[in-house]
Structure 1
């Protein structure tokens, strides 16, 4: 292995660890006194601060027209504020490892929404087979036919977060593509908007109640916001620019594996063979839906592959931009 390939492998490993650990940090913050909405606010604010600092340092300018900011309000709600809250809500009753696995269903929902909207014209049989296989894996994870199955409001909230991500990609691909704004700055603006939306929701959801979090919760949410939401996007952005979307796409398939491993090692979460088989089935289905014909950009393109971000914990506007480009080239 050359030094260059070793460097790429290390960056991919670090990125997978930071992104995949997001579900662990959410669980720790919940267990030590923070509410789902408080976690959402802290995560958005800290992530926005990191991306703003990087964008400004690189000379990128935030969008200035009202129309773009209007679209960013919808994108921030569907792609950040709502799913971040739903992950916190779901992990109140569901293990962090399962949350990471259910998050991996996002590309399946993206394909299903694309078929419903007519943007997926004549999907190949292998992609449709992947869709069926992926949802079969999800059903295996839920196991509603068993009393010990995971079917419940917490799991539904997690699945709702994945659906929200998918809906956001469809919306952003239509409204935020070709705006002429640097993707890094556009994503920073998106998280700034998500911060405002989540802060506005605090009074209605009782988020202004006294914070009874201990040091563990505070450390968890700081790591989640700064590293799991801010720096991870920048690392992924650089990996795409330097190595191409094909290399970065591998990270997406590592995220549920990382969440399962960390849940077991750090939190002692027991994950049965049914959930493991379901996870592998979902990932196999996702791989089939991404198949050949899904164009990705080569090094230097500066665009993030949707297959990476849609199975990650921090989707951004660049995923939708890349999705639209891929659709045009299909």
Structure 2
């Protein structure tokens, strides 16, 4: 196992997923939120279906799993990506990336609310308090600042990821189905769901803008499709916990790219809020899972295709799921 190669993959993955917020911002200059979401989903699904074909994986599942794949496609792909598009109409791409970093916190919280896990340890409660304290610092209501629909849409997207990942952890992880097939079918289902939303926007005309159209193409093919392949390989080679390091890099990449490319303002308050959110995520991580899974290869399914089987199912799944 070449750790240097894995570190390179991790860096590329952080760049692809961290840049997704910038790419959404650019794509919105020519397309509506639903159009951006549908296009990236369709392109990503095409890449994943091709990946399954190359690996000889059949696109079939137990019929009992298909409804759960559709639910995952809605909450972990279609809904959050439409919401991110709505949010980034008025919110800086860097701020959207910072808010998205709360996803593991929402996943842990909904895992408890939906009865998917037991009670919280003091460490986890502290992590939730610190993480959501960071969100409060970013929003700064004491300064008379209004969160606005944009920030709320981004926050709702992160919460939607949380619901989706808990559902995936409960109903799809550990079923024996190869992860590429699950992810490909999830995106196919999400494409159908996103297509339903398109007429609701009145089918606005797509404005021809080379930069915007290139941005959505890169977002779909590389940010979604290739990003999944890199993440999948990282989990297989290094384990879920090592691969989840990307969670800590993504908001840094999104904020820096927003500042460098779009001239977005860097606020000490937002930077400190990001730091608190990531500190909260770190605290909620199961210490045993972190120590035991680091460097351990993912479990293997009977046909030889590795699948995600993290020791700490919801926080690790939230940070390693390919649908970022």
TM-score under structure 2 length normalisation: 0.91
**Gapped regions of structure 1 (runs ≥ 5):** 317-330
Which residue of 11, 18, 21 corresponds with 1:20?
18
| Alignment partner of 1:61 is 2:69 | no
Q: Residue 302 of structure 2 corresponds to which residue in structure 1?
A: none
Counterpart-to-counterpart distance in 1, 2:320 and 2:88: 16
CA distance in 2, matches of 1:122, 1:300: 26
2:237 to 235, 238, 242: 242
Q: Residue by residue, what CA displacement relative to the aligned partner does 1:24-74 show, whole Å, maximum 9, x if unpaired?
A: 0000111x2211000011010000000000011101112244322222111
The reply to whether residue 215 of structure 1 matches residue 213 of structure 2 is: no
1:226–1:101 CA distance, 2 compared to 1 (3 A): same
How far did 1:118 drift?
3.1
Equivalent residue, structure 1, for 2:99: 102
Two-structure CA RMSD over aligned residues (Å):
1.9
2:45 aligned to which of 32, 45, 48: 48
Structure 2 equivalent of residue 11 of structure 1 = 9
Structure 2 distance, partners of 1:220, 1:138, is 28
Quote how far apart the aligned CAs of 1:288 are: 0.1
Between 98-107 and 243-252, the greater mean CA deviation after superposition: 243-252
Structure 2 residues without counterparts, runs of 5 or longer: 300-305
Q: Distance in 2 between matches of 1:85 and 1:38?
A: 8
Counterpart of 1:324? Answer: none
Deviations 1:96-141 (A, max 9, x none): 0011110010111111112223333232101110100101000000
Q: What is the count of residue pairs matched by the alignment?
A: 311
State which drifts further: 120-129 or 97-106: 120-129
Q: Which residue, 195, 198, 203 being the options, matches 1:199? A: 195
Aligned: 1:157 with 2:153: yes
Shifted more, 149-158 versus 174-183: the winner is 174-183
Contact preservation (8 Å) 1:63, 1:181: no
Q: Normalising by structure 1, report the TM-score.
A: 0.89
Partner Cα separation in structure 2 for residue 263 and residue 313 of structure 1: 24
Give the Cα–Cα distance (whole angstroms) in 2 for the partners of residues 158 and 169 of structure 1.
17
Superposition pairs of residues 1-330 of structure 1, within 5 angstroms: 4-30=2-28, 32-147=29-144, 149=145, 151-206=147-202, 208-294=203-289, 296=293, 298-301=296-299, 302-304=306-308, 305=310, 307=315, 310-311=318-319, 314-315=322-323
CA distance in 2, matches of 1:311, 1:154: 23
